[in-house]
Amino acid sequence: MPTQRKIVAVVDDDASMRVSLERLLQARGFGTEIFPSAEAFLGAASAADCLLLDIHLDGMGGFELRRRLCSAGSRLPVIFMTAFDDDATRHEAASLGCVAYLRKPFAGHLLMEAIADATNSNPR
């Protein structure tokens, strides 16, 4: 029986980051769903196996999106990413139950490890 391709949703308001992540993920065999905002993600019917989520977004931030997803009963694994790293941000990300926390720029192998952790704990 063939293995179903895992889908990674990416929410980032930086267009170049979205394009780079989409290319990397597709090159590694993942399906992708790409969103420029938390609001766009909420308005979509996502089939994602995990969510790669920027913390600092225009409009609704990544932490607020995670809270809304949790309130709605979502068990979608989240990998937070940020260019603005500090102790308070790391602590809040951990308290919201992220699978991984990546500081931009990050190495591709760190992202792949985080996605493996997220999708292995969330079989479709």
| CATH number for the domain harbouring residue 33 | 3.40.50.2300
Q: Give the residue ranges of DSSP H helices in the chain.
A: 15-27, 38-42, 62-71, 87-95, 108-120
Question: How do residues 29-69 score in pLDDT, each as one tens digit?
Answer: 999 999 999 999 999 988 999 999 999 999 999 999 999 99
Q: Provide the pLDDT for residue 45.
A: 86
Give the whole-angstrom CA distance, residue 66 versus residue 61. Answer: 9
In a domain, 124, yes or no: no
In a domain, 2, yes or no: no
Which pair of structure tokens corresponds to residue 58? 């225009």
Rounded to the nearest angstrom, the gap between the alpha carbon of residue 58 and the centroid of all alpha carbons in its chain is 16
Domain that holds residue 31: 11-86+98-119
In a domain, 76, yes or no: yes
CB 106 within 8 A of CB 85: no
Give the whole-angstrom CA distance, residue 32 versus residue 6. Answer: 8
- Domain tally, the chain: 1
Q: How confident is the model at residue 4 (pLDDT cuts 50, 70, 90)?
A: confident
Q: How confident is the model at residue 117 (pLDDT cuts 50, 70, 90)?
A: very high
3-state secondary structure at position 78: strand
In a domain, 103, yes or no: yes
In a domain, 92, yes or no: no
In a domain, 46, yes or no: yes
In a domain, 4, yes or no: no
In a domain, 105, yes or no: yes
